[in-house]
Chains A and B, each alone.
Chain A
């Protein structure tokens, strides 16, 4: 592994109002965080409400509001960052994406076309390095519970989200061919502070013993605590490597669903919550049916979050992080138990009822 580069003078972050983006900005601005950086942050958010809070956070922050589905948003975001503008080095961390949209067309507009817009604008500005945040979805699910995705896999996208993230990866490869220094990280299911409401529901379901464990809970899932993910992203940004590489960024190993539910239960108990034994054991066929319904909905351009999530619950999604360990020196330090405790503590600090 090569010596890491210094952080850039300007870091552009898309999706800065989102879950991951919020975590990245907090880490970069925090005085005592391992990854705090001195340069300017230029942030893109979609919701004007997010912009207010971010602007207040630091005078090193510039916030742009816009929809990356529109080409002019990306152009505006990079205004004044052209390498001839003498602003110094510029890196881009592209986290913007949509995972649970109102309509199917949003997948392509945001995840695929939006990525293409950012790539073109970054290329035009002559940025130093860009990190594209991808997903496990372009690769589908493991066909067997014992199977683990290697660092390079054939595309097998899981429904509409997977297709849009795959198309984005293909546009990234095109940009690499044109000369842009862009790499990719692929986090599976991530969790931790700043999480949206749908993840809070997960805690509530475990606490009340109603988390749907399908087919015995032997399925394996790779997960990643948000701080581990931030480490992976920053290392991908600052470790000099060939462009076009992609790394799985996850916790050290995959967990069985039973282990996840059990660990979250222990974390909740340790944080003083009263946890009921999990009773909702469902046959695998429930997941199969949900998957089928999800497919039918998506074919007619509709998206139903409950069916989508349930349909995926009886699948194994396990990834091998050895390439990130080898190429980037990535080392996920936070365990599932500790990560879950920190997530629960964060929820309590935000007065979120679990």
Chain B
């Protein structure tokens, strides 16, 4: 392995890649394989897959930023999570894979004027990614919580399917036997094999600018027991810190045009459903998704570790709290929407984390309520005896008449709204009024600064965005390499 956290010196490289998630790891691999001298820096630690239990509280402590949850301010505030480890979000997310919808690709191309951007090109990169990450459906037995989604949707005649995952399974393996093919097992080793180096547990303090050019990066360590500032000089820099950190990094470097102004997310609301059998699999998430009302509303299953079950009941703890002891019979599900709202990311001088705000529109709030009600109906049809919606003063739902009480009582402002799909804080394209970078991620006004992560997506794709992020990052990295090869 070529990743280390002990490297207290000044260094040089040709290309500095900031961040090692879905955007950074692919960028590093493509550029290193094209012969460039690549150095990756990552704020979090290297944690091998299997070292911590997936979706556990320990994982939240070690591999997420701020212990798992950060909050975008607004009414309601929206909780979000960011991976902070080698491999970024790919190490800790649900591993569900969806190609970018062709509709979204066409919309991005036309509204943002992205050059050389079409479905054929991106989807052929998706095929490469699918082979690299062994994207597949579960060969063997599903978890009970997963089957519940499938059965409830089938009872209602609602369109649903199994989302493939980037997992490897033994022959005929069950859902719980899957091994996640995250960046630490795929693109990062590929980058190392091609000569890339990686410095973990080092946080970028600032990019030093000279006119429109970035010249060096100043880092400090986040590992305990080491306290030595590091400076890295480079020719080019790719900022791949994710949709929250990337705009903050750019803003601190002086880039402001359309940076951090158009945060897009898929807001979600949740419920816990109780069945008269064991349904909870703490270390896995359901793979079925309900697309009957997509792209507006989608349903899926959430991680349901006992701690997360408690969290899902907390909005009405007085009435619901006692149920937590029955956690093996409970599973958590979400309703996600495509939002018309947008948010801001703003770096504040002297403060470590940026301020994030997000505003749901009236339609968004209504759609969250409609989504939660339909999800509750699906749970009743799947045989749930009790449904616990996650909002303040939520009633317990046992039958259809209770659903009317639930819809009457629902207010998005009282709900625990959260999201995991953050994007669009440095949109790409030639439409200067709407974009922060050109069609290939080069920051407007910069000579050698690129963005190559979820920040580039012009808006939220309506599906799990990791495939979109990886395909676009690979496309842009290839363009960079090709231009320098000629």
Contact = CB atoms under 8 A, between A and B. Distances in A.
Contacts of A142: 370
Given A147-B293, A147-B297, A147-B367, A156 B404 contact: yes
Interface stretch (B237-245, B270-278, B372-380, B424-432): B372-380
Nearest to A145: B363
A142, A154, A155 interface centre (most CB from chain B within 10 Å):
A154
A93 B183 CA distance: 64
Given A152-B377, A153-B377, A147 B404 contact: no
A323 interface: yes
Interface string B401-444: 10110111000000000000000000000000000000000000
B353 interface: no
Interface string A316-353: 00000001000000000000000000000000000000
Contacts of A154: 373-374, 376-377, 400, 403-404, 406-407
Interface residues of A, number: 20
A5 interface: no
B373 A170 contact: no
Interface in A217-245: none
A143 B370 CA distance: 7
A142 B297 CA distance: 12
A117 B454 CA distance: 60
A163 B406 CA distance: 14
A144 B367 contact: yes
Contact of A143 (B363, B404, B406, B408): B363
Contacts of A140: 407
B50 interface: no
A144 B363 contact: yes
B363 A170 contact: no
A155 B374 CA distance: 9
Given A143-B366, A146-B296, A156-B407, A323 B157 contact: yes
B271 to A, nearest CB: 12
Nearest to A138: B404
Given A140-B407, A147-B296, A150-B292, A156 B158 contact: no
Which of B297, B369, B400 has the most A CB atoms < 10 Å from its CB?
B400
Given A155-B400, A155-B407, A143 B369 contact: yes
B156 interface: yes
A173 B158 CA distance: 22
Interface string B358-387: 000001001101110110110001000000
Contacts of A166: 404
A196 B100 CA distance: 50
A173 B399 CA distance: 12
A170 B407 contact: no
B397 to A, nearest CB: 9
B277 to A, nearest CB: 24
7 contacts: A138-B404, A147-B297, A147-B370, A150-B158, A152-B156, A155-B407, A156-B407
